[in-house]
Chain A
C-alpha cells in the first residue's frame, strides 16, 4: 500500500515532467530544456573497429518519426556540443572536442566542424566555453537520410546526420510502473524507441590524441586506465 502510494507520488512528478512534449532520454530530460536544441538524447563511448581508436556518439533531438520529421530536423548552429575528457580523475575536463554546425562558404553546404581534442586551460573549464579556433581538426558535410557523408582528417573520422535511434527501452511500461498502474515489466517488452530516428554525431579519435587515463579511476576495473568522459550542450550567448 505504502509502496503504491510512493510510486504514485513519483509517477505524478514524472508525469509532470513528461507532459512537456519531448523526450530526450537522457532521453527524458528536465523541463527547462526538454525538446529544445540543447537537449542531449544520448551519449556513447567505445573502442573503434581499429582498437587504437575510441568512438564518441552524441545524439540529439530523439524520437524523430521517419519521413518529414526526420527530413526537417536540423542541428542548431547556436549550440556547441562539447565532449569532455578527464584524464586524471579529478572530474574536471583536461581535453575537449568541440563540435558545431556552420554553412561552409566554399560549398554552401551545411557542415559540422570539429575542434580538438585539445587541452583546456584551467581558467577555461566549466559551464562557459569559447571555441578553440586554432585547433580545427576536420569537418564533414551534414548527411541526409539518403546522402551519407563521412570524412577523415588527422587520423579522425567524422559523421553528422540522422541515424536510426540506437536506444532501446520499454519506456511506456516503466511509466506505468512508476504510476502504480502495474508492478513489473512485461516479458517480452516493447521497445518504445523502435522505428524512430535521432540526429547523431559520430567522431572516431586515435587514443593517442586523448592522452592517458587513470588506473583505478573505476574501482570495478582496478588495473585498467580509464578516462572520465561526458558531453555538454552549450548555447551561444
Chain B
C-alpha cells in the first residue's frame, strides 16, 4: 500500500513536471530571423548584435560616414536639361537648387522652345510657351501621394514616372504637337513605345541585367 502511494505521488510529480515549460532564453541561433532583431543577441543571419543580415537594421559598427558632400548633378523630370539646356547652361543647371531654377533658366528654356518649334503656340495641356517653360524650369518630378502614378496615361497627367511610361513621346507631343496634339506628326513620337525587356510587378521591378 505504502509503495503504491509512493508510486502514485511519483507519477503525479512526473506528469506535473511534463507540463512545466522551461523558457529557453538562450536561443543558440535557432530562432527565425524576424523575432531576433531585438533580443540583444547576435543570431540568425545578423552580422552584429541585433543588426545586419536581410531582416534587421544595418550595422554601422566600424563604418565612417563623415564628411561634406557637394552637388555635381541632379535630376527631376526626364530629359529637361538635355532638351532645353544649351552648352554653357547645362553645367550651371546641374548645380542650381530647384527653388532658384525658374528665375535662372525659364527665359532660356522659352528661347530654346521656340528654336525647337518656331511655330509653338500652345500644347495639348493648354500651356502657352511661358506657362509651359515655367512648369519645366521648376525641375522637380511630381508624384502623387494617392492614386495612379504616371507621366501620362491618357487621363492622369504628371502624377509620377513609372517604368513603362513613354516619357519621350509625352515630351515630344507637348513640344511639337500643337493645341490638339496633331501638328508635326513625324516629330511627336519616336515610335519606340516600350522597353526591350519586360518589367516585374514585384520589387525590384527592373529587369535583370543582360
Residues of A within 8 A of B (CB): 3, 6, 10, 13, 16-17, 24-33, 36, 38-40, 42-49, 54-55, 57, 66, 70, 79-80, 82, 86, 90-92, 100, 102, 104-107, 111, 113-114, 125-131, 133, 136-139, 145, 148, 150-154, 157, 159, 161-164, 166-170, 173-174, 177, 183-191, 193-197, 200, 202, 204, 207, 210, 212-213, 217-218, 220-221, 224-237
B63 at the interface (CB under 8 A from A): yes
In the complex, what residues of B have CB within 8 A of residue A185's CB? 186-187, 189-191
Q: How far is the CA of A162 from the CA of B91 in the complex (A)?
A: 27
Chain B's nearest CB lies how many Å from the CB of A155? 12
Q: How far is the CA of A107 from the CA of B143 in the complex (A)?
A: 37
- A38-B141 contact given A48-B203, A102-B63, CB 8 Å threshold: no
- A221-B73 contact given A91-B140, A169-B192, A204-B203, CB 8 Å threshold: no
Chain B's nearest CB lies how many Å from the CB of A5? 11
Query: Residue among B150, B166, B168 with the most chain A CB within 10 A?
Result: B168
Contact B91 A26 (CB under 8 A): no
Contact A220 B157 (CB under 8 A): yes
Q: How far is the CA of A103 from the CA of B190 in the complex (A)?
A: 42
In the complex, what residues of A have CB within 8 A of residue B74's CB? 40, 230-233
Contact of B145 among A167, A202, A225 (CB under 8 A): A225
In the complex, what residues of A have CB within 8 A of residue B52's CB? 104, 106-107, 139
In the complex, what residues of A have CB within 8 A of residue B86's CB? 10, 13
Contact A153 B209 (CB under 8 A): no
Chain A's nearest CB lies how many Å from the CB of B157? 4
Contact B97 A126 (CB under 8 A): yes
Query: Residue among B146, B150, B187, B190 with the most chain A CB within 10 A?
Result: B190
Contact A105 B206 (CB under 8 A): no
Q: How large is the interface on B (under 10, 10 to 19, 20 to 34, 35 or more residues)?
A: 35 or more
Contact A25 B82 (CB under 8 A): yes
Residues of B within 8 A of A (CB): 47-48, 52-76, 78-82, 85-87, 90-91, 93-95, 97-99, 101, 115-116, 118, 125, 138-150, 156-163, 166, 168, 184-187, 189-197, 199, 201-210
In the complex, what residues of A have CB within 8 A of residue B66's CB? 130-131
Contact B56 A153 (CB under 8 A): yes
Chain A's nearest CB lies how many Å from the CB of B91? 5
Q: B62: nearest residue on chain A (CB-CB)?
A: A105
Chain B's nearest CB lies how many Å from the CB of A161? 8
Contact of A221 among B139, B158, B202 (CB under 8 A): B158
In the complex, what residues of B have CB within 8 A of residue A104's CB? 47, 52, 59, 63
Contact B58 A44 (CB under 8 A): no
Contact B195 A168 (CB under 8 A): yes
In the complex, what residues of A have CB within 8 A of residue B210's CB? 66, 70, 164, 195-197
Q: A138: nearest residue on chain B (CB-CB)?
A: B58
Contact A105 B195 (CB under 8 A): no
Query: Residue among B68, B139, B158, B209 with the most chain A CB within 10 A?
Result: B209
Known: A46-B162, A131-B69, A225-B145. 7 other contacts (CB 8 A): A25-B78, A29-B82, A30-B81, A44-B161, A191-B195, A226-B142, A227-B143
Q: How far is the CA of A43 from the CA of B73 in the complex (A)?
A: 12
- A224-B204 contact given A130-B67, A177-B187, CB 8 Å threshold: no
